[in-house]
Amino acid sequence: MVRARTILDYEEKKRNEDRQKMRQEVKEEVKQEVKEEVKQEVKEEVKEEVKEEVKQEVLMEEQAKTIINLYKKGVSIDFIADVMGLSSTQIETIINTLNL
């Protein structure tokens, strides 16, 4: 009877060890999955940020083209500034930056 109890205790201990080992393996797998999910979430956030930055750059480029075209047609810097909602200094900087 004592021997049977010892065998049962050993088997239970072995099952618990196996279970712990399996839990650790599963935990590592889940950890990798979560890392990938977080990485994907961050990637999407950064993608949205970059999209917004690019939009702003494109808008600024288009605005600069409009300013240059108006200036080339002889429109005054003050008028361009008023229409574009910028200061005369900002308009002058754009024009000077593009060496016109």
Give one DSSP letter per residue of 37-60, joined into a string: HHHHHHHHHHHHHHHHHHHHHHHH
Residue 81 has pLDDT above 80, yes or no: yes
**What are the residue boundaries of the structural domains of the chain, listed by start?**
2-97
Give the mean model confidence (pLDDT) for residues 50-77: 96
Coil, strand, or helix at residue 73?
coil
Indicate the range of 4-8, 38-42, 70-74, 79-83 predicted with least confidence: 4-8
Higher pLDDT, 10 or 52: 52
Q: What percent of the chain has pLDDT over 70?
A: 94
Q: What is the pLDDT of residue 34?
A: 97
